[in-house]
């Protein structure tokens, strides 16, 4: 991979163009000092046990690029990068985090990240709901409640219960998705037999979780739930058992007695549901909801750690490149956390503060552990990723990558405006335009490698060339060709794409490359920009 180097931040046009007073560090950290302090306390304590010295703090440009990608999902423009680099403020990191968290880009990016977590095969139906929920400061517990047992009187196609609706025709899939995503427990192995490694997970647990959804069904655009029905399962000895609603800790849920309808009643119900579907009307809600029982038991004071620990672990993974528990859906006693006290502390803090995900994110990104360089300066072997002694390099998500490609390939003048809102509108439009390009990239996994398909697309796809390398005044190539001084040209390209000043060796090599191709200047500039955009440095968040 290409040598990892620094970069910078966004939303600084607004900050540096308005007379906003500088905040003191203590003012900004008041609400979240405890989180950052707890993170560093537990991370440093573990390193002390193994006699490990962490890497140095990341350079400003690296930390800015990292924070911007994590908080608003894109790299900075060249102007933002230069402005931040030139800022004399000793508190600019704190000011930057505050500014980004207050930006609508944070809401959009967080909604995108949660939609990727919650949706099946890039389904976009949940994103509007998630954006609205984040904008209105809903806690994760409330969003969980609404996704599992929300208002079914409205069409579910774009509402919170689309989480259920997109999976309800396969209850096994729905059961495991709910367990893995919300509670960090992939219980699929217990469908056919008790889990061979985890004594706490039995067939009764799998079918107990499945029972919470056994009465749910799709009726047109609406999610319905019957007032009757149960499931049975056979164990490995061939014995048949009635499945009771059961949570992971073994708590079983009782319910009122119910009677299965006879064939005549079923026919009448079927006709009624067909008419409701035809009329595009919701299914009446039963007096007793099994899904509501799942919500209640999951949010009880002695059970909520399943929900809170899972979202803390996933948020930590997204920001730190490694979960406190790995794999993310294997949170069980036989697979302890790398820092169990930290995980418990963060989970308790999340619950105590209304499941506020923004507070959690803010605390993590203000920690020293988050702010370390990804370059291991010691001659000793690079430490395990789970120690967080050195920042973990992460692959850009499809949306991060596509949006950043669009921004980097624009000219600096394209973003220039006396009105900050005009710049913000262009950024939003760029994010929207990048959605098609994002669909061409795969979601990165633990062992991600740039695919042959991605490499061929950048080499052979005319649309990519036209989108990113157009000789147009609004594009970087068009801006660069107007610069007669090649040294000035390559440094502008460096700020645009990398968000930093090129070092002497880099600039000399690029200047020579252009000088050797003076007879075909525009293609040479396009090739230079292409090389920067497709570099390892640009492809990763470091």
Going from N- to C-terminal start, the domains of the chain cover 12-107+304-392, 138-290, 398-541
Burial of 112 (0-12, 13-18, 19+ CB in 10 A): buried
> Closest by alpha carbon to 118, among 333, 311, 380?
311
Evaluate whether 351 touches 20 at the Cβ level (below 8 Å).
no
What are the angstrom distances between the C-alpha of 99 and each of 31, 44, 415, 423? Answer: 15, 28, 19, 15
Residue 244 phi, psi dihedral angles, 5° rounding: -105, 150
The strand pair at 216-219 and 222-225 is best described as: antiparallel
pLDDT reported for residue 20: 29
CA gap 253, 244 in Å, rounded:
7
CA-closest candidate to residue 180, choices 339, 361, 307: 307
What is the separation, in whole angstroms, between the first and last Cα of the chain?
12
**Backbone Cα Rg of the chain:** 26
Residues present in the chain in total: 542
Three-point CA angle 355, 358, 360, nearest 5° = 70
Low-confidence ranges of the chain (pLDDT < 50): 1-29
**Pairing status of strand 240-242 against strand 394-395:** unpaired
Rounded Cα distance, 275 and 265, in Å: 15
Most distant CA pair in the chain: distance in Å?
Answer: 86
Distance CA 304, CA 144 (A): 12
Structure-block tokens of residue 82: 């230069």
Query: Pairing relation of β-strands 232-234 and 222-225?
Result: unpaired
Handedness of CA 340, 342, 346, 348 (dihedral sign): positive
From the centroid of its chain, how far is CA 198? 29
Angle between helices 420-438 and 398-408 (to 10 degrees): 130
Under 8 Å between Cβ of 10 and 68: yes
> What tokens appear for 200 in the block?
């706490």
Give me 27's structure tokens. 């003012």
What the block records as the tokens of 222 is: 């609406």
Q: Say how far apart CA 92 and CA 96 lie, in whole Å.
A: 6
pLDDT given for residue 31 in this prediction: 52
pLDDT tens profile 280-312: 999 999 999 999 999 999 999 888 899 999 999
What are the start-end ranges of the H helices in 196-258? 203-211
C-alpha torsion 19→23→27→33, nearest 10: 120
Residue 371 tokens, joined: 């702010």
Q: Is the pTM of this model over 0.85?
A: yes
pLDDT at site 3: 40
Cα(414)–Cα(216) distance, rounded to whole angstroms? 51
Is residue 70 a contact partner of residue 400, using CB atoms and an 8 Å limit? no
Query: Under 8 Å CB-to-CB from 58, ≥6 apart: which residues?
Result: 6, 66, 371, 372, 373, 374, 391
């Amino acid at each position: 991979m290409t040598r990892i180097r620094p970069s910078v931040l966004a939303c600084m046009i607004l900050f540096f163009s308005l007379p906003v007073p500088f905040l003191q560090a203590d003012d900004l950290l008041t609400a979240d000092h405890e989180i950052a302090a707890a993170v560093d306390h537990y991370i440093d304590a573990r390193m002390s046990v193994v006699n490990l010295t962490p890497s140095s703090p990341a350079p400003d440009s690296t930390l800015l690029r990292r924070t911007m990608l994590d908080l608003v999902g894109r790299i900075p423009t060249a102007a933002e990068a230069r402005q931040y680099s030139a800022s004399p403020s000793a508190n600019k990191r704190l000011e930057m985090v505050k500014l980004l968290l207050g930006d609508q880009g944070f809401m959009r990016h967080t909604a995108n990240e949660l939609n990727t977590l919650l949706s099946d095969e890039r389904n976009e139906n949940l994103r509007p709901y998630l954006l609205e929920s984040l904008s209105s400061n809903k806690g994760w517990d409330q969003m969980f409640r609404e996704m599992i047992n929300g208002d079914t009187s409205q069409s579910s196609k774009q509402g919170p219960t689309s989480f259920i609706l997109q999976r309800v025709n396969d209850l096994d899939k729905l059961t495991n998705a709910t367990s893995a995503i919300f509670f960090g427990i992939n219980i699929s192995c217990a469908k056919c037999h008790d889990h061979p490694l985890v004594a706490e997970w039995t067939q009764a647990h799998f079918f107990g979780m499945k029972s919470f959804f056994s009465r749910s069904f799709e009726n047109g655009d609406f999610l319905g739930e019957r007032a009757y029905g149960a499931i049975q399962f056979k164990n490995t000895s061939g014995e048949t058992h009635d499945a009771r609603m059961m949570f992971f800790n073994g708590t079983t849920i009782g319910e009122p007695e119910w009677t299965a309808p006879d064939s005549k009643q079923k026919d009448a119900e079927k006709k009624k549901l067909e008419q409701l579907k035809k009329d595009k009307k919701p299914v009446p809600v039963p007096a007793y909801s099994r899904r509501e029982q799942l919500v209640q038991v999951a949010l009880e004071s002695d059970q909520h750690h399943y929900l809170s620990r899972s979202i803390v672990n996933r948020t930590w993974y997204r920001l730190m490149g490694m979960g406190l528990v790995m794999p993310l859906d294997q949170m069980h006693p036989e697979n302890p956390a790398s820092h169990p006290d930290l995980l418990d502390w963060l989970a308790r803090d999340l619950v105590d503060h209304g499941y506020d995900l923004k507070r959690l994110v803010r605390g993590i990104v203000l920690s020293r552990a988050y702010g370390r360089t990804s370059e291991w300066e010691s001659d000793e072997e690079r430490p395990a990723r789970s120690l967080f002694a050195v920042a973990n390099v992460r692959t850009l998500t499809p949306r991060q990558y596509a949006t950043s490609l669009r921004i980097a390939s624009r000219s600096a003048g394209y973003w220039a405006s006396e009105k900050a809102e005009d710049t913000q509108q262009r950024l939003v439009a760029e994010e929207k335009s990048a959605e098609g390009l994002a669909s061409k990239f795969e979601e990165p996994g633990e062992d991600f490698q740039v695919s042959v398909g991605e490499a061929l697309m950048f080499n052979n796809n005319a649309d990519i060339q036209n989108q990113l390398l157009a000789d147009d005044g609004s594009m970087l190539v068009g801006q660069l060709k107007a610069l007669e001084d090649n040294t000035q040209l390559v440094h502008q390209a460096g700020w645009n794409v990398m968000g930093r000043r090129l070092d002497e060796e880099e600039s000399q090599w690029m200047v020579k490359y252009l000088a050797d191709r003076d007879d075909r200047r525009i293609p040479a500039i396009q090739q230079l920009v292409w090389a920067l955009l497709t570099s390892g440095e640009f492809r990763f968040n470091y």
